Amino acid sequence: MAEAVIDVMSQRIKDDDVAGAFAALTHACFATTSAERVERSLARRSRVPGRALISDLLADRRTGACSVLERGYLHRVERPHGLPRGSRQRSSTATGQRTDQDVRYEQYGVVVELDGRAIHDNPQAWDVDARRDLAELATTDAVTARVTYGLVFGGQCETAYWIGRILRRHGWRGELTRCPRCA
């Protein structure tokens, strides 16, 4: 299976579809294989078109980016704007059940939940998320910012500004940097 994932990723990269390559990787990691198996398979193969980018995508998956939206936040919001490095897929039991937080800036008590359509496409999903946010606020001092696809792929500079402001209100002393897209 890991070999097939590499082939699909390689073809998508060849077709200039990096998001599709990452989506194939994350889907496979949830369904049938792991990033580690894909990495081992990649290491055994001598010639793979797009090898460097596949390695980069695997590194993003290892950091905890589990969707195209989460990778987009990492590469379009967090890194290019100098935000502190958040921990990814951190477990929380604020609701009494285990959930994973997309990005948590632990030191500042700020959580960024990335709401893509795959999971957040109906009112019941919104209620689950709102309940989780309320439980988190009731049991910890953490605040949750919900970020959508359009805020990452289109409004990334403004999103970085707002996340930076939230983090500063919670003790971050860093400075935002301007990316090439910033107006």
pLDDT at 128 over 70: no
* Confidence tier at 104 by pLDDT (50, 70, 90): very high
Do residues 84 and 172 touch, judged by C-beta distance below 8 A? yes
Q: Give the rounded percent of residues in the chain with a pLDDT score beyond 70.
A: 82
Give Dmax (Cα) for the chain.
53
Q: Give the rounded percent of residues in the chain with a pLDDT score beyond 90.
A: 57
pTM: 0.82
Task: Please list, residue by residue across 29-40, b when 16 or more beta carbons sit within 10 angstroms of its beta carbon and e when fewer do.
Answer: beeebebebbbe
Whose tokens are 């998508």? That residue is: 12
User: Taking the CB of residue 96, how many other CB atoms lie within 10 A of it?
Assistant: 8
Mean pLDDT of 57-76: 92
For the stretch 40-54, pLDDT in tens is: 999 999 899 999 999
CA dist., res. 130 & res. 30, Å (int): 25
Q: What is the chain's Cα-based Rg?
A: 17
- CA atoms lying within 13 Å on the CB side of residue 22: 22
| Inter-residue long-range contacts of 17-23, CB under 8 Å, 24+ positions, other chains counted | 18/53, 18/57, 19/68, 19/72, 21/50, 21/53, 21/54, 21/57, 22/57, 22/60, 22/61, 22/65, 22/68, 22/71, 23/67, 23/68
* Confidence tier at 89 by pLDDT (50, 70, 90): confident
CA dist., res. 12 & res. 38, Å (int): 16
* Pick from 30-34, 36-40, 44-48, 106-110: least confident: 30-34
What phi and psi, each to the nearest 5 degrees, are found at residue 103? -140, 130
CA dist., res. 18 & res. 10, Å (int): 9
What phi and psi, each to the nearest 5 degrees, are found at residue 122? -155, 160
49: helix, coil or strand?
coil
pLDDT at 153 over 60: yes
